Structures are given as C-alpha cells and as structure tokens.
Chains A and B, each alone.
Chain A
Amino acid sequence: MGNTLWGMEITAEQLSTAFGDTLYMVAISLIFSGLIGLPLGILLVITRKGHILDNKWVFNILNPVINILRSVPFIILLVAVIPLTRLIVGSAIGTNAAIVPLVFYAAPYIARLVENSLLEVDKGIIEAAQAMGATTWQIIHRFLIPEGLSSLILTFTTATIGLVGATAMAGAVGAGGVGDLALAYGYQRFDTMTMIVTVAALVIIVQLLQSTGNYVSRKIRRR
C-alpha cells in the first residue's frame, strides 16, 4: 500500500482516481440522460391538454412510463438493466457499465423536472407566440426554453446532485468512484478516517454544484 494519507488505509492516488471516476460517471451519464430527459420533458409539457401539440396518446403513454421508471429503486435498476448494459458496453462491470443504469435512473427524473420547470412558463407567453405565428419548434426554442432557462438550470443542478448520490451505489457493479471508496474502505474495513474524508469530499462536491447552479440560475434571471 503506497503512501497513505492522514492515517487512512487508502492512498492519495486512490482518492484522486476515485474522484476522477465519480466526475466521469456523473458527467457522461448527465449528458446522456439530459439528451433523453430534456426532449421527453418538453414532450410531457407540449402534449398535455390544451398545449401546443396536444396529444392524448403520447402524453398518456409517456406519463406512466416515466412514473414506473422513477419508482424502481436505483439498486434494483442497477441489476435489472445488466443484459442491456452488456449489449451496449460489452461488459456489466466497471465505470462505463455503471453509466447505463445511471442514465436509466436520471433520464426520467430529468424529464419530470424539466416538465415542472417548463410548466412554470406563463401560458400568456405561449399565446403571444402563437399569435405571432411561431412554429412549434420556434415556440419551444425561442419562448419555452429561454423563459424556463433559469428554472432549467436548477433542474439540472438537482439532477446532477442526484447522480452524484447514485454513483455511490454504482460501486456495487465495480464502478469505482468516491462512494465505492467510502463503502469498501470506510464502511467494510472500519476505516473511520477514509469514511470521513470521502463523505466530506461528496459534501463538498454537492455544495459546489448547488452553489454554481444557484449562481448561474440567478444570473440568468437577473440578466
């Protein structure tokens, strides 16, 4: 065991690798779940009754599917999607393998949050857009998203923090990361110092994310 830090059983190198793994998993799964969740969230808004793409079928299918996905606990999801993970990543173990269940976890969550953010946009704005003769796409990207942007930023902040928490559990499929370190060393080997350091690290990550999100959101609102 090379150089230990502050009496921990883990090395500084292990800690920084874990940090890197966590950030990698969060970033990649955020990108993919954002790419899936954002359009789904928009669809949830515009297909509802009386909105610009009012569509009973799409809404009534999408809405419960998202609910069902959201009710599955992440630890179950982690195992349940293993066949699919194998198909996509080629392996069911490791950092990349954890990204698949992470996306399954975060995408519906983001869809729901995006829906909430965009529903806050004043209906009068949509009416004004329709009166101007805006196309559906123009209404989405020129009215809905800019008006909901400040709230969307907070949405993605919340989703990111949720992902940081979920990556800790992803250690179960050998994904590594700060959470895995905390479980493997801090909890299972009763290494209190490692536990404290890793949890403190997670607290700092979450704090940083939240303050950054708040700052950007406020900045956009005040612009």
Chain B
Amino acid sequence: MTEGASFVYSFQSSSLDNEIEKKNNLGGDRMIEFQRVKKVYQTKKQTVEALKGIDLTVEKGDIFGVVGYSGAGKSTLIRLVNLLEHPSEGQVIVGGKDLTSLNPKELRAEKKKIGMIFQHFNLLDSKTVFDNIAMPLVLSGTPSREIKERVGELLEFVGLSSKARSYPEQLSGGQKQRIGIARALATNPSILLCDEATSALDPQTTSAVLQLLKKINQEYHITILLITHEMSVIREICNKVAVMEDGCVVEQGSVFEVFAKPQTATAKNFVRTVIHDEIPQSFLKGIGTHIPIIWKINFIGTTSGTPLLSTISKKYDVHLSVLSANISEIQETPFGNLIIEVTGDKQEVDKAYQYIKDEGILVQEVQVNG
C-alpha cells in the first residue's frame, strides 16, 4: 500500500482534526524546515519583501506542493532550500543542517544531496544527453567507468536509453524534462526540488512526468518539494500542500484537508480550478425567504455516497436532495464531493448530521443567503 493510501485509510477512521493533531505529534523525520524565513530584495529605489516570515516543514517521504499565483514568492522559497537564494532572516534547515553555516566545500557536498529540475530544463545544448546526465558526477570527480554505469541506469529509469547520443535540441519537452530528472538523480540525492517542472509541458506530457516523479518518490524514497501554479499538479501527486500568497503561506496541510476544507479565498480559488462543487445557480435563485439547510459532504476512497444517503433517509425522518455531486481523483484516490439539501424536523436533521460525523465522514454546513 502506498503512503498516500494508508493516509487515506486513517483519515477515514478518525475525524479530520484528530488526524492533523496526530500527525503533528508524530513529528516525523524533518527533511526541510523553514523557520520564520524572510527574504528581502533591496534595489536602489525600493525594498521588496518576497517572503514575509515562512514556517514550513517538509517531512521525509513527502511530495510537498507549494501552489500560488506568480509573484507569490514560491520561486524564491524553493531556491532557499539549496541556497540559490540566501534568506534575509530566519533559518532553512535541510536534513538537520543550516546550509548557511557551512563552508563552501561542505555546502557543495550538501548540494549533491539535493537534486533540482527546472521549468525550462536548463540542459546544456552543447552536450549530449549522456554528458548532460553525467555532469554532476563529472563535477564530483567520479571515475568514468562508474559514470557510464550510473548514467546507463538513469537513462533506463527515465525510459530514454536510446537517446544517449542525442542532443537536447533533438528532444521533445517531455523528454528534456526526463533528462533533467535523470541528471538531478545522478548523485543519489535525498531531496528533489521541482521548480515549475511541468509548466512548459502539455497536459499529457505533464501527467507522464508527474507519474515519473511519483515513481521516484516511491522507489527511491526521495522527498520532493515542488512549486507550481497548477492545482491539478498538486492533486495528482502531492500528499501535502501549502498555498502561498504575497510572500506568506496562507494555508497548509494535507492535500485532502485543503481540498475538502479550503479556508482562504486563494485556496478556494485554486481548489475550484480542479474540483467543481458549486451549488447550481438555478437553485440559489429559487430560494425564497426560507433558508435551506445545505450540507457539503466529502467522501474519500472507495466509500460510496449512495449507501450513506439511503441509510440516513431510512434511519431518520429527513428528506435529501442532491444539488451537486462529483468524484475527482486526488493521488489516484477517489475524492467525492456531494452537496445536498436536507429538509425535515430540526431534531432529526441534527441527529442525521451527527450520524455522518460519527461515521468519520467530513460534513460541513454550507451557508446560503437567499
């Protein structure tokens, strides 16, 4: 069972808030920690605060996604991890070490444990695919026989063994990113940073590259920190997400949590780009003076919504009508979104509500103003 799936299981068996608490108490293995990190850019004319005090923890084995509109500071954030940018204030702890405290030699050694892939791939056009992947190994003085072996393995892993002698300009975008991934993995890193890695790719290629990243996470146990402006990327592979806006993390948690209960307007907007759970306009227009009771129910995993609804309507004296229902996939796990209108005696309605909650299913009342 994958980590994502086991998480789903525990999510179902307890209420969401308990789950979050449990996770926090467990602590886990901390891979990347941002502690009150600020980044200020000083220009002659003005001071730009790109990051305004970030606290973030990426645990070992996570595929942690940071989503935000352009200019939110996510690009600066990811560059702080391998010190392509230096924090103005606060600390970034990677694998238990504050990289800013290391001397240049130690820093270079640490950087070999952090792979990075880029939106525009950043491959050397003057070198073959083989030489591109070999580069990090050449830099650390690996014997050429070892290099040959390792590059061969990596090419096979990304499925491009036949392209070893090609030049990057002869490859498609998706192939280039696979080469970028192979290069990033050459030194056996424990962390992979993905800087908008799929933003320059078409949807189909994006999906293939994301599946490759997932495979890396599962087979090599590499912790992944990715930044993106596409919520669909988060939905497809991440287990945790942070939403950034204007230099701050405005929301963070498990992907299920944020998708099910987005708190901020920005998070809601992002979730809406991949999950449509609006109450139909025609319904809203039809509301008179009577304010209806509307529940939003989220199902995760194989639990189907139908038995729940029929159980409730049998058990309690309530009438249910479905306003909106859809199932989307988060990390290959069905994620159901159900919006229902409930009518009936207040006592019965409350009992039904409690029943759903007791089942460990996420249910929220939706406020509708007529």
Partner among B107, B112, B123, B126 whose Cβ is within 8 Å of the Cβ of A132: B112
CB distance from A126 to the nearest CB of B (A): 9
Nearest opposing residue in chain A for B115, CB measure:
A131
Partner of A124, one of B109, B120, B187: B120
- Chain A hits for B193, CB < 8 A: 131
User: Distance (Å) between the CB of B189 and the closest chain A CB?
Assistant: 10
Give residues of chain A (102-149) contacting chain B, Cβ–Cβ below 8 Å.
122, 124-125, 127-128, 130-135, 138, 142-143, 146-147, 149
Is B135 an interface residue when CB atoms closer than 8 A count as contact?
Answer: yes
Rounded to whole angstroms, the CA-CA distance of A87 and B12 in the bound complex is 88
Number of interface residues of A (CB under 8 A): 20
Q: CA–CA, A124 to B196, complex, Å?
A: 13
Q: Which chain B residues border A128 with CB–CB below 8 Å?
A: 116, 118, 122-123
Q: With A124-B122, A125-B122, A146-B127 in contact, is A131–B84 under 8 Å at CB?
A: yes
Q: How many Å lie between the Cα of A124 and that of B116 in the bound state?
A: 12
User: Inside 8 A of A130's CB, which chain B residues have their CB?
Assistant: 84
B139/A142 in contact, CB under 8 A: yes
List of B residues within 8 angstroms of A220 by Cβ: 126
B198 interface contact, C-beta 8 A = no
CA distance A122 to B125 in the complex (A): 10
With an 8 A cutoff between CB atoms, is B124 at the interface? yes
> Smallest distance from the beta carbon of B349 to chain A beta carbons, Å?
57
B167 at interface by CB-CB < 8 Å: yes
Which A residues are CB-close (under 8 A) to B116? 128, 131
Is B138 at the interface (CB under 8 A from chain A)?
yes
Most buried by B among A130, A133, A147, A223: A133
* CB neighbours of A147 from chain B (8 A): 124-126
Check: B53 CB closer than 8 A to any chain A CB.
Answer: no
Complex Cα distance, B168 from A124, in Å, reads 15
Q: Report if B319 contacts A (CB, 8 A).
A: no
Give the residues in chain A near B82, CB-CB below 8 Å.
131
A133 touches B124 (CB 8 A): no
Mark each residue of chain B from 150 to 193: 1 if its CB lies under 8 Å from any CB of chain A, else 0. 00000000000000000100000000000000000001000001
- Complex-state Cα separation, A138 to B126, whole angstroms: 16
Task: Report Cα–Cα, A128/B114, bound state, in Å.
Answer: 12
- B100-138 interface mask toward A, CB cutoff 8 Å, 1 = contact, 0 = none? 000010011111101110101111111100000001101
Q: Which residues of A contact B108 (CB under 8 A)?
A: 133-135
User: In the complex, A186 Cα to B136 Cα: how many Å?
Assistant: 60
Q: Is the CB of A142 within 8 A of B135?
A: yes
Q: Are A125 and B124 in contact (CB under 8 A)?
A: yes
Interface readout for A16-35 with B: 1 if CB under 8 Å, 0 if not? 00000000000000000000
Query: Across the interface, do A127 and B126 meet the contact criterion of CB distance under 8 Å?
Result: no
Shortest CB-to-CB span from B198 to chain A, Å, is 16
CB proximity of B158 to chain A, nearest CB, Å: 17
Interchain CB contact under 8 A, A132 and B118: no
Given known contacts A127-B84, A130-B84, A122 and B122 CB-to-CB distance under 8 angstroms: yes
* Across-interface contacts of B123 in A (CB, < 8 A): 128
Q: Which chain B residue lies CB-closest to A134?
A: B139
Taking a contact as CB atoms closer than 8 A, the residue among B111, B122, B138, B140 that contacts A127 in the complex is B122
**In the bound complex, CA of A89 to CA of B210 (Å):** 66
Task: Find A146's partner among B111, B114, B126, B139 (CB 8 Å cutoff).
Answer: B126
Cβ contact of A133, chosen from B121, B127, B138, B139, cutoff 8 A: B139
**Which of chain B's residues has its CB closest to A222's CB?**
B167
Closest to B83 in A: A130
Q: Contacts A138-B139, A146-B127, A223-B167; is A132 near B122 (CB within 8 Å)? A: no
Which of A132, A143, A146, A220 has the largest number of chain B CB atoms within 10 A?
A: A132
Bound form: Cα–Cα A5–B362 in Å: 102
Q: Which residues of B lie under 8 Å from residue A146 when comparing CB positions?
A: 124, 126-127
Separation of A178 and B115 alpha carbons in the complex (Å)? 57
- Give the residue of B104, B109, B114, B121 whose beta carbon is less than 8 angstroms from that of A131: B114
Cβ of B170 to closest chain A Cβ, rounded Å: 11
Q: What A residues does B136 contact at CB under 8 A?
A: 132-133
A142 to B135, CA, bound (A): 9
- Least CB distance from A42 to B in Å reads 17
Give the chain A neighbours of B139 by CB distance below 8 A.
132-135, 138, 142
List, in ascending order, chain A residues with CB within 8 A of B104's CB. Answer: 135
* B-binding residues in A (CB < 8 A): 122, 124-125, 127-128, 130-135, 138, 142-143, 146-147, 149-150, 220, 223
**24 A-B residue pairings within 8 Å (CB atoms):** A124-B121, A127-B118, A127-B122, A128-B118, A130-B84, A131-B84, A131-B115, A132-B111, A132-B136, A133-B107, A133-B108, A133-B109, A133-B111, A133-B136, A133-B139, A134-B108, A134-B139, A135-B108, A135-B139, A142-B139, A146-B126, A147-B125, A220-B126, A223-B167
* 4 nearest A-B pairs in the assembled complex, by CB-CB distance: A133-B111, A133-B108, A124-B122, A128-B122
